[in-house]
Amino acid sequence: MGARVAVVGGGLSGLTAAYQLAGDLPGARITVLEAGDAVGGALHTTDFPSGPVELGAEAFIARRPEASDLVAELGLTDALRHPGLLGPAILTGGRLVPMPTGTLMGLPSDVSTLAGVLTPEESAVASREPELPLRWEPGSDVPLGALVAERFGPAVVTRLVDPMLGGVYAAPSTELGLREVVPGLAEALDRGAPTLTAAIGTLMAGRVPGPVFATLDGGYRLLVDALAQASGALVRTRNACTAIHRLGSGYVLTVSGDRGLWSLEADLVVVAVPVPHAAGLLAATGVADGAVSGLSGIRTASSAVVALEVDRSLALPDRSGVLVATDEPVPFKAMTFSSRKWPHLDDRPGHLVRVSFGRLDDDEVLAVDDRGLTAMAESALAGVCGSAPTTLHSRVRRWDDALAEIGPGHAARIAAVRGELADRLPGVELVGGATEGVGVPACIGSARAAARRLATRWQD
Ligand SMILES: Cc1cc2nc3c(=O)[nH]c(=O)nc-3n(C[C@H](O)[C@H](O)[C@H](O)COP(=O)(O)OP(=O)(O)OC[C@H]3O[C@@H](n4cnc5c(N)ncnc54)[C@H](O)[C@@H]3O)c2cc1C
């Protein structure tokens, strides 16, 4: 008999796991339980009259293979698009400064390029980095922001590293593990790079040429729909899993759906929901306390995206968007001029702009209602353009607990959680942005690996 598989959460991670399991376990009966009205989770394409617009993730790192490979497998390569040549600006000291070139996630390989962002005194501090002795324990991990502040000075953190990472990580770099966020840098230090500048230089030299980012013409919904279809899974939207319990050698899931409570029996279970929900579901099993406390230690941040289409009479800065220095007194954290950044979106009647709000421990702004957030986005846009926009269309989307903090030692924490699950809840796998890393490629990689482990287990 084919395996009965329950996937809890129909975001990218859950759908990818379902797709991989369908391939690895022919005959499996896969059910995807999704609490929301539609699958996709943080991949959420909506429509303005002028065409599709992203309200969640808008791109992925194309230099990592996971997303590009999956797009190719699903026959979507023709829809791949890359950004144009414009780089972002940094909002610092009330003015826009072009993001210096030659940085790696904001980490400078050549401090002389930072003159527009740093004061002469700050530049002098940063330029001494190559002379400072660096003590590094191979295999160790440290908070990225603390190391950069110590080596280059705090201004490099607030004006370069945190604004750059803010698009993907909701936490400041002082809360992020170096090895988790820039593994190549930690590895270069492990191999004996004597300074951060040297380690960054090694990484930059080894970079594969070609565009860093990619997206899909038509929106992420192409990927979501293709995955759901190729998985052959029975997708049950508006059905939330509320508990998982062992039943013989398998599991029974309690589901709260639009037609009341029901249960689903499964041999294999994939938990693919944001970390607070995952901790709750594992707690309900009553047998995985260690995993629950491991997951409960991972903090999450909420955010909101306001998508605008504004009249083209507004003069946008000649950049792809605006990253905000973390000491800047403005409520938004980033702004993308989507129709500037992506040439395929530049044929819209208006300019497409996305404004993001919300950071870890700083989500007061998210208490504002949708009209208020839209007004704040318009006022932020007016601030960077010097005149008020005429809004043609707008949409707001909130993302609660969507981004997990990937702190130092995160990999060891997840390994311990996985160990306990294998021991106490065999056949249950945890995937998603709180496991192997935030971001589309990491979620795909994590989901596929977990699905392969489940398939192997079932076949053994
Ligand atoms: C605003 C924003 C912008 C981003 N931008 C980028 C980007 O440009 N590039 C990039 O690489 N990454 C980006 N990311 C990160 C990336 O989108 C996510 O890491 C990834 O999509 C997470 O997928 P997931 O399936 O693990 O989780 P989710 O997308 O959160 O999906 C989880 C699903 O589980 C459902 N669910 C929750 N509880 C239950 C339950 N009890 N029962 C059933 N279903 C449940 C939810 O409704 C949801 O659909 C962004 C994230 C956000 C929030």
What's the whole-number mean pLDDT along residues 259-266? 95
Helical H runs in 27-152?
65-73, 120-127, 144-152
> Which residues have CB under 8 Å from 126's CB, separation 6+?
108, 111, 114, 118, 152, 153, 155, 156
In 3D space, the residue among 10, 47, 51, 56 whose CA is nearest the CA of residue 31 turns out to be 10
Q: Which atom of ligand 1 is nearest to the CA of 58?
A: 8
Tokens, residue 418 = 């996985």
Helices (H), 248-288: 275-285
Q: What is the pLDDT of residue 369?
A: 96
* Across 387-402, average pLDDT: 96
Contact 9, 273 (CB under 8 A): yes
User: Please, where in the chain does CATH 1.10.3110.10 lie?
Assistant: 99-205
Q: Which residues pair with 304 in a beta bridge?
A: 357, 398
CB of 148 closer than 8 Å to CB of 154: no
**How large is the average pLDDT for residues 82-91?**
95
The CB of 56 under 6 Å from ligand 1? The reply is: yes
- The span from the CA of 210 to the CA of 82, in Å, is 10
Instruction: Dig out the tokens for 237 from the structure.
Output: 């939207």
- Cα(247)–Cα(385) distance, integer angstroms: 60
Q: What pLDDT is stored for residue 134 in this prediction?
A: 93
Pick the most confident of 372-376, 404-408, 411-415.
372-376
As a whole number, mean pLDDT of residues 20-44 equals: 97
- Does the CB atom of residue 62 touch ligand 1 within 6 A? no
3-state SS assignment for residue 64: coil
**Cα-to-centroid distance, 121 and ligand 1 (Å):** 42
Q: Where in the chain is the domain with CATH 3.50.50.60?
A: 4-41+217-298+406-459
CATH 3.90.660.20 domain position(s) in the chain: 301-401
The verdict on the CB of residue 176 being under 6 Å from ligand 1 is no
Beta partners for 359? Answer: 362
Q: Please determine, for residue 431, whether its predicted confidence score (pLDDT) is greater than 80.
A: yes
- Rounded to the nearest angstrom, the distance between the alpha carbon of 41 and the centre of ligand 1 is 4
Instruction: Write the pLDDT tens digit of every residue in 304-346.
Output: 999 999 999 999 999 999 999 998 999 999 999 999 999 999 9
What pLDDT, on the 0 to 100 scale, is given for residue 43? 98
CA-to-CA distance for 90 and 106, rounded, in angstroms?
A: 11
> Which CATH class, in words, describes the domain spanning 99-205?
mainly alpha
- CB neighbours of residue 372 within 10 Å: 12
Nearest CA to ligand 1 atom 13: 57
Closest CA to ligand 1's atom 27: 11
Centroid of chain to Cα 451: 20
CA distance 241 to 421: 18
Residue type, 114: L
What CATH number belongs to 4-41+217-298+406-459?
Answer: 3.50.50.60
Residue 446 CB less than 6 A away from ligand 1: no
Residue type (1 letter), 189: L
CB of 7 closer than 6 angstroms to any ligand 1 atom:
no
83-105 average pLDDT score:
93
User: From ligand 1's centre to the CA of 200, what distance in Å?
Assistant: 30
Whether ligand 1 lies within 6 angstroms of the CB of 303 is answered as yes
Per-residue pLDDT tens over the stretch 192-214: 999 999 999 999 988 878 888 99
* Ligand 1 in reach of 33 Cβ (< 6 A): yes
Distance CA 139, CA 134 (A): 15
pLDDT band at residue 168 under the 50/70/90 scheme:
confident
404 lines ligand 1 (CB under 6 A): no
Q: In the chain, what's the furthest Cα-to-Cα distance?
A: 71
Cα 131 to averaged position of ligand 1 atoms, centre (Å): 43
> 329 C-alpha to center of ligand 1: Å?
29
Residue 120, judged by CB atoms within 10 A of its CB (0-12, 13-18, 19+), counts as exposed
What pairs with residue 354 in β-bridges?
307, 336
**What pLDDT score was predicted for residue 161?**
95
**342 pocket-lining for ligand 1 (C-beta < 6 Å):** no
pLDDT class of 74 with cuts at 50, 70, 90: very high
Q: Rounded CA gap, 44 and 118, in Å?
A: 37
Among 440, 444, 448, the mutation site with the greatest number of ligand 1 atoms within 8 A of its Cβ is: 440
Which CATH number is 301-401's, of 3.40.50.720, 3.30.450.40, 3.40.640.10, 3.90.660.20?
Answer: 3.90.660.20
Say if residues 336 and 320 touch (Cβ distance below 8 Å): yes
The pLDDT of residue 258 is 84
Percent of the chain with pLDDT over 90: 83
Question: Is residue 440 within 8 Å of residue 13, measured between CB atoms?
Answer: no
**Each residue's pLDDT tens digit, 214-250:** 999 999 999 999 999 999 999 999 999 999 999 999 9
Residue 23 C-beta-side C-alpha neighbours within 13 Å: 16
- pLDDT at 1 > cutoff 90: no
DSSP assignment letter at 199: H
Is 71 touching ligand 1 by the criterion CB < 6 Å? Answer: no
- Say if ligand 1 is within 6 A of residue 241 CB: yes
**Closest alpha carbon to 145 in 124, 130, 164:** 164
Whether residue 304 has its Cβ less than 6 Å from ligand 1? no
Task: Find how far residue 75's CA is from the centre of its chain.
Answer: 24
Ligand 1 within 6 A of CB of 280: no
Total residues found in the chain within this entry: 460
Residue 167 has pLDDT above 80, yes or no: no
What rounded mean pLDDT belongs to the chain?
94
35 lines ligand 1 (CB under 6 A): yes
Write the residue with the smallest CA distance to atom 40 of ligand 1: 240
239-247 sheet: strands from edge to edge: 239-247, 250-257, 260-266
Continuous H helices in 210-343: 221-231, 275-285, 289-296, 338-341
For the CA of 443, the nearest atom of ligand 1: 26
d(CA 40, ligand 1 centre) in Å: 7
> Ligand 1 center to residue 229 CA distance, Å?
19
